[in-house]
Amino acid sequence: MKKKNLSAKKKIHNFYSKKLNDPRIKKVYLNFKNKLSSYITNNFCVAVSGGIDSMALSFLAKCYSLENNKKIFFFIVDHKLRENSTFEANLVKKKLKTFQISSNILTIKKKKISKNIQSSARENRYKLIIKKSLIKKIDMILTAHHSNDLIENFFIRLLRGSGLKGLISFSNIKSKITLDDKIFILRPLLDIPKKDLMYISKNTFNFYVNDPSNFDDKFLRTKVRKLILNLEKEGLTLEKFNLSLNNLSKSNYAVDYYVKKNIKDNSNYLRLTKTVILKDDFFKQPDEIVFRSFSEVIQKVGKKVTLARGTKVENLLQYLKTTNNYSKKTLSGCIIQKIENSVIISPEKQ
């Protein structure tokens, strides 16, 4: 290796090692490193939005790669939802390059999204990253979700009428994108407060992109953030929240056992047509078991990133209870049809 290259490599190593001398940054990094050491075995990537949280994650991931001599892929998604999105994506890519981080911009084809803008954008973002990950043989996608996101998502799902599993599912550090693939999301910062990530971002790269939607009251997430601020004034803390979340998780574990049993005992999967046939006994279980079993089957057949909305699932279950005809309904990429005492769920044609 040329002396010039050796000098540049030493310089970048010195930058990261010097930043890790900061006790506050080092504490977060050691927590981060322990998580990755427990979960990472093969290639993995970092989803970079350019915001404060993802820039802090990029710094931590780069430190890990230098220390462990691992190659990490950094993916920036240009979502095309804002006029400046392409400019911002290129700006983030350029900034990362100054810190010896090579990244790829993945561009979503521009299309009009009229409702559920943020959730639709998130689903499109994951689809694009998954597609690239399969090419690169990546099995783990790191995201910058932190403890504030954990609380926000709990209240968002509560307001949308989510069941027990929906309320606690985001608390999993590692989770599958869909039921069929082998790619996982890893949230190594889920127990880290946003204020610590803000500190890291400011004291390392000192650069981030502001997303104006974070301050737009038309989005539910913005309203929930304001609600949480008021609850914090009334005594809500992360410790109290985690205590309740742990109790809910224990209950969920018990329910999940019977959900799996119901699917195993009372459904048949036809591999050739990728169709699921639900027996009459499938719907004779307690309501929560039926609701979750049905939701999981819909997600599997429809190959969706997330479970269908709870209210839509409830409405469909009610329809199936009261109808005796052969008419078809659609939900979350599936065609659902009741025939005598069975329900057939098949994928919609793409």
Where do the structural domains in the chain lie, given as residue ranges? 3-145+187-236, 265-347
Domains 3-145+187-236 and 265-347 share a fold: no
Contacts with 264 (C-beta within 8 Å, 6 or more apart), sequence order = none
Parallel, antiparallel or unpaired: strands 174-176 and 184-186 = antiparallel
Burial 179-202 (b: 16+ CB within 10 A, else e): eeeebbbbbbbbebebebbbbbbe
Average pLDDT value for residue range 173-196: 83
Q: Does domain 265-347 have CATH number 2.20.25?
A: no
Instruction: With H, G, I as helix, E, B as strand and everything else as coil, classify residue 1.
Output: coil
End-to-end CA distance of the chain: 51
Q: What is the distance between the alpha carbons of residues 350 and 139, in angstroms, rounded to a whole number?
A: 25
Average pLDDT value for residue range 323-327: 76
> What is residue 84's predicted lDDT score, i.e. its pLDDT?
85
DSSP string covering 195-217, please?
HHHHHHHHHTT------GGGG-T
Q: What is the distance between the alpha carbons of residues 223 and 14, in angstroms, rounded to a whole number?
A: 42
Residue whose structure tokens are 């803000």: 198
Q: What is the distance between the alpha carbons of residues 304 and 179, in angstroms, rounded to a whole number?
A: 8
For domain 3-145+187-236, give the CATH number.
3.40.50.620
> What is residue 290's predicted lDDT score, i.e. its pLDDT?
95
Main-chain phi, psi angles of 175, to 5 degrees: -150, 155
> How much is the pTM?
0.76
66-70, 180-184, 265-269: range with lowest mean pLDDT: 180-184
